[in-house]
Chains A and B, each alone.
Chain A
Amino acid sequence: MVKKWRIVTFFVIVLALAGVISQTVMNTAKGINLGLDLQGGFEILYEVSPAEEGEELTDETMQATVSALNQRVNVLGVSEPNISIEGENRIRVQLAGVEDQQTARDLLATEADLSFRDVDDKERLSGDALEENGASVGFTRANEPIVTLSLKDPNEFGEVTENIISEYNQPNNRLVIWLDYEEGDSFSEEVQKEDPKYLSAPMVNQPLYERDIQIEGDFEIQEAEFLAEVLNSGSLPVEMEEIYSNAVGASLGEEAMDNTIFAGFIGIAMILAYMMVYYRFMGVIAAVTLSAYIYIVLLIFNWMEGVLTLPGIAALILGVGMAVDANIITYERVKEEIRSGKTILSAFKAGSRRSLSTILDANITTILAAGVLFYYGTSSVQGFAVMLIVSILTSFLTAVYGSRLLLGLWVSSRIFNKKPRVFGVKEKEIHES
């Protein structure tokens, strides 16, 4: 007896899936940030000079600056920037998918050099006194964002505040906190301005022998977070001056993206066609789960706000391959079981069970490798690894469980009982045991 409701369930699931995908796929695809190589971005060219006069710029300092910049760009949530050294003293930073260019500029160029000065601009305490990674964002009672800093030595700050109190009277008993103080900046000038260059200038009324200090500077929450992150990611070993900034085109060329997408569609269409020809009915199931796979990967990547680059596409192709492979492994196994004389239902069950451990081991090994690439890799290598991990997890979900669910509905409806040809097995191949 054929259980029709299972087949009905199958069509309901497939139609629902088709509905969701066709309604949202365009927005999902458009929402994905494309990398510099695929769509371009914007770039800044910096001229680098030594932090201290008289020092020389060596290859190592340039390299250290590039690593520090890489770290800062990570703070921006941009993956795979293109940072290159040009000539002796220039660094070109290219960023894809950055919406707030000004923040990016500020974050990149700051020397992250914090200093505490008196109203006559004499340095009382330098950024060296800060504990590493000691900056964080907090809130006052009035819910204003503040930046909390940890000092290495509480006595140092106590002495500084004591000196300020003893040397200055109100209203000049201030401790002015500067970020990137430069020769020529002065408190007396800046205090008149509406948007002074210093961060804040609190009055000191009593000596503060404390390890944690707070900066209240009328921050917006983003500003406070930005300051804390910059202080934590460390200062640059050099000074950088922006020479110019500019929009840049895709490094792979203008038509690269369109062509690649078109080629991708053709490739996937060929895969689906092949699967349906070779595996007949099971191939149709594979086509459904592969479509779901591609859609889900794009969706997750969109949620993660990842930046898709060519290495990412490479990982996606590998993911498609592994998803197809998981289907093929299962179907070959099911066919083998049918040939050995099992009924369709028990062949399906045995085939699914046996193929699972194969797929699991292969996927775990590849994920393990991808995890290492992510952990030790930089930029492109890391981007590749992220996409690969997402792809494998998704392919496992769709190709193993999705396939099993959909195929299971048909098999257990019993409509295919004694019809091995539907699965691509000829009757004469079956060996009754």
Chain B
Amino acid sequence: MNLNHSKRFIPFVKHRNKFFIFSAVFTLVGIILLFTVGLNLGIDFQSGSKVEVLAEDTLTEDQVAEDFSQAGSGYEPDEITLAGDNNEMAYASFVGTLSQEEIAEIQTYFNENYGQEPSVSTVSPQVGQELAQNALISVLIASVGIILYVTIRFEFWYGAASIVALLHDAFFIIVVFSIVQFEVNVPFIAAVLTIVGYSINDTIVTFDRIRENMSYEEEITSFDDLARVVDLSLNQTLVRSINTVLTVVFAAAAIFFLGGEAIRSFSFALLIGLVAGTYSSLFLASQLWLSWKWKSIQRGWNKPKEEDPEDLEPEV
């Protein structure tokens, strides 16, 4: 192994406090944002009204959206789904319950233009909420599983740090969505799960290199020894980290720009998450591991003296 083939050697560890502060501030701002501004929840997670439009001929989504804006100001359906054998029906969902006057206004418009009075019903978000809850619980259980596996294969501190990175990445996407106020719907959950998967993969690959370089170390006697291993490992895996995230960004960006309006927020969540996932592996997970590992090494030096009675002679 050689270190000098590349002149760029980035001292990650030196700047780690900046990363910690940045992440802590971001988390704090994120929590405040979620409690104040909150998320722009779509029809999947909020109760609302569903208007069933019946027409004589085939409908298109644009046409239905146009009709609603004609019917009165402020009618912007959250979601339009076409139905019927020839798409002669459309369901338009609105977040929030429509008032009697609004319903009357919509019904009058469609009655005049389509000759049919649309029926309006309320929709409950129970199913979407269940799904989100289920996803959250599953991820938490999976985190426990990951810690167990990583503890067996690596060591506990790697597992703990990778879970912090994973939760950080998922939280990061949620906060960014709170900032940009993009709509949160069921595909958003899929995007968050994807990033959770990516985050695990990315962190484990980095940790694997730290573990390997640790095995070459004879003995860790100072913080700098440990820091050197982390910096070396991060620099060795840096090209891989960048190339991998770039390729996945290609796929996500292609879908973001070309994939159509309906999944734009989905692919945006992917893009944000990929950036967060790479950031957390390089700047957060490894640095956390470094801090925790160093503390546990220090504890290890103090412990045997107190607990092992046979080992009472002072260590040289």
What is the interface of chain A, defined by CB distance below 8 A to chain B?
37, 40, 43, 59, 62-63, 66, 82-87, 90, 246-256, 259-260, 262-264, 266-268, 270-271, 274-275, 278, 310-311, 314-315, 317-318, 320-322, 324-325, 328-329, 332, 336, 339-340, 354, 357-358, 361-366, 368-373, 376-381, 384, 388, 429, 431
From B130, B142, B257, give the contact of A368 (CB < 8 A). B142
Q: A267 to B127, Cβ gap below 8 A?
A: no
Q: Given that A274-B250, A328-B244 are contacting pairs, would A370 and B197 also be in contact in the complex, using a CB cutoff of 8 Å? A: yes
Q: List 26 A-B contacts (CB under 8 A).
A: A63-B126, A82-B127, A87-B121, A252-B187, A252-B262, A253-B262, A256-B259, A260-B260, A260-B263, A263-B259, A274-B247, A314-B193, A314-B194, A314-B266, A317-B194, A317-B251, A324-B247, A325-B244, A325-B247, A332-B239, A332-B243, A357-B208, A358-B204, A369-B139, A373-B135, A384-B190
What is the interface of chain B, defined by CB distance below 8 A to chain A?
1-2, 4-5, 50, 60-61, 79-85, 87, 89, 121-124, 126-127, 130-131, 134-135, 137-139, 141-142, 145-146, 149-150, 153-154, 162, 186-187, 189-191, 193-194, 196-198, 200-201, 204-205, 208-209, 212, 236-237, 239-240, 243-244, 246-248, 250-255, 257-263, 266, 270
Cβ contacts under 8 Å, A310 to chain B: 187, 190, 263, 266
The 4 closest A-B pairs by CB, nearest first: A267-B254, A311-B190, A249-B82, A267-B251
Q: B250 to A336, Cβ gap below 8 A?
A: no
**Considering the chains assembled together, what is the distance between the CA atoms of A153 and B244 in angstroms?**
63
Q: Nearest Cβ in chain A — how far from B256, in angstroms?
A: 8
**Considering the chains assembled together, what is the distance between the CA atoms of A263 and B262 in angstroms?**
13
Q: Given that A260-B263, A317-B252 are contacting pairs, would A362 and B204 also be in contact in the complex, using a CB cutoff of 8 Å? A: yes
Q: A253 to B204, Cβ gap below 8 A?
A: no
**Considering the chains assembled together, what is the distance between the CA atoms of A246 and B85 in angstroms?**
7
Cβ contacts under 8 Å, B150 to chain A: 365
Q: Given that A264-B251, A325-B201, A384-B190 are contacting pairs, would A369 and B196 also be in contact in the complex, using a CB cutoff of 8 Å? A: yes
**Considering the chains assembled together, what is the distance between the CA atoms of A43 and B52 in angstroms?**
14
Q: B258 to A262, Cβ gap below 8 A?
A: yes
Chain B, residue nearest A266 (CB)? B254
Cβ contacts under 8 Å, B79 to chain A: 251
Chain B, residue nearest A90 (CB)? B121
Q: B248 to A248, Cβ gap below 8 A?
A: no
Q: Nearest Cβ in chain B — how far from A425, in angstroms?
A: 9
From B2, B142, B149, B194, give the contact of A315 (CB < 8 A). B194
Q: B145 to A369, Cβ gap below 8 A?
A: yes
From A263, A336, A339, A388, give the contact of B255 (CB < 8 A). A263
Which label, helix, strand, loop or mixed, suits the secondary structure of the B interface? helix
Q: Nearest Cβ in chain B — how far from A102, in angstroms?
A: 17
Cβ contacts under 8 Å, A84 to chain B: 123-124, 127
Cβ contacts under 8 Å, B244 to chain A: 321, 324-325, 328
Q: A247 to B153, Cβ gap below 8 A?
A: no
Q: A274-B246, A340-B2 are in contact. List 15 more A-B contacts (CB 8 A).
A: A59-B126, A252-B262, A318-B248, A320-B251, A321-B244, A325-B205, A328-B240, A361-B154, A372-B145, A373-B142, A377-B134, A377-B138, A378-B134, A380-B131, A381-B138
Cβ contacts under 8 Å, B248 to chain A: 317-318, 320-321, 324
Cβ contacts under 8 Å, B251 to chain A: 264, 267-268, 270-271, 317, 320-321
Cβ contacts under 8 Å, B189 to chain A: 311, 380-381
Chain B, residue nearest A247 (CB)? B85
Cβ contacts under 8 Å, B123 to chain A: 84-87
**Considering the chains assembled together, what is the distance between the CA atoms of A275 and B250 in angstroms?**
12
Q: B200 to A361, Cβ gap below 8 A?
A: no
From B121, B137, B246, B258, give the contact of A263 (CB < 8 A). B258
Cβ contacts under 8 Å, B262 to chain A: 252-253, 256
Q: B193 to A311, Cβ gap below 8 A?
A: yes
Q: Given that A43-B83, A274-B247 are contacting pairs, would A339 and B5 also be in contact in the complex, using a CB cutoff of 8 Å? A: yes
**Considering the chains assembled together, what is the distance between the CA atoms of A324 and B247 in angstroms?**
8
Q: Given that A246-B84, A320-B248 are contacting pairs, would A369 and B200 also be in contact in the complex, using a CB cutoff of 8 Å? A: yes
From B5, B135, B197, B253, give the contact of A431 (CB < 8 A). B5
**Considering the chains assembled together, what is the distance between the CA atoms of A271 and B209 in angstroms?**
25
